[in-house]
């Protein structure tokens, strides 16, 4: 279910980006680079692109809300299935040999 909603969400995102970039805005938009793309749909191009942008925006918001609801229902602790570790024995101190005092060297003359 989540995979299907994510696929619809990605498609809606891509279409929304393309539709917004194609539309002629105050600064003429990206349409000036692609001469005649906006006239591809005939005389009602502006209303068609506006309607498609609205539909894609609604689909985008609905998939956002659906993904949020599905993630809340599915959320669980990352440690839910982890068994607690057995208590460890305390570390025993390593027995280090105690250095004895050095024996004086006999037979040395000064």
**Residue 95 placed within a domain:** no
**Residue 8 placed within a domain:** yes
**Residue 110 placed within a domain:** no
Domain with 24 in it: 2-74
Q: Each residue of 54-98: pLDDT tens digit?
A: 999 999 999 999 999 988 887 666 667 777 777 776 666 666 666
Q: Give CA 2 to chain center in angstroms.
A: 15
**Residue 102 placed within a domain:** no
Q: How many domains does the chain have?
A: 1
Residue 42 banded pLDDT, cuts 50, 70, 90: low
What is the C-alpha separation between 85 and 102, in angstroms, rounded?
48
Percent over 90 (pLDDT), the chain? 28
Predicted TM-score (pTM) of this structure? 0.54
What is the C-alpha separation between 55 and 22, in angstroms, rounded?
16
Residue 110 banded pLDDT, cuts 50, 70, 90: low
**Residue 82 placed within a domain:** no
**Residue 7 placed within a domain:** yes
Predicted confidence (pLDDT) at residue 1 exceeds the cutoff of 70: yes
Residue 6 banded pLDDT, cuts 50, 70, 90: very high
Reading the block at residue 40, the tokens are 């591809």
**Residue 61 placed within a domain:** yes
**Residue 16 placed within a domain:** yes
**Nearest Cα residue to 50 out of 34, 38, 62, 60:** 38
Cβ-in-10-Å burial (0-12, 13-18, 19+) of 63 comes to buried
Q: Each residue of 89-100: pLDDT tens digit?
A: 666 666 666 666
Predicted confidence (pLDDT) at residue 27 exceeds the cutoff of 60: no
| pLDDT number for residue 9 | 94
């Amino acid at each position: 279910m989540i995979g299907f909603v994510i696929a619809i969400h990605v498609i809606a995102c891509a279409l929304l980006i393309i539709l917004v970039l194609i539309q002629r805005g105050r600064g003429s938009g990206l349409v000036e680079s692609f001469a005649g793309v906006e006239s591809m749909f005939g005389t009602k191009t502006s209303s068609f692109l506006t309607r498609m942008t609205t539909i894609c925006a609604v689909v985008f918001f609905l998939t956002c809300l659906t993904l949020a609801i599905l993630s809340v229902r599915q959320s669980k602790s990352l440690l839910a299935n982890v068994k607690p570790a057995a208590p460890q024995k305390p570390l025993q101190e390593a027995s280090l040999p105690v250095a004895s005092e050095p024996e004086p060297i006999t037979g040395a003359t000064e």
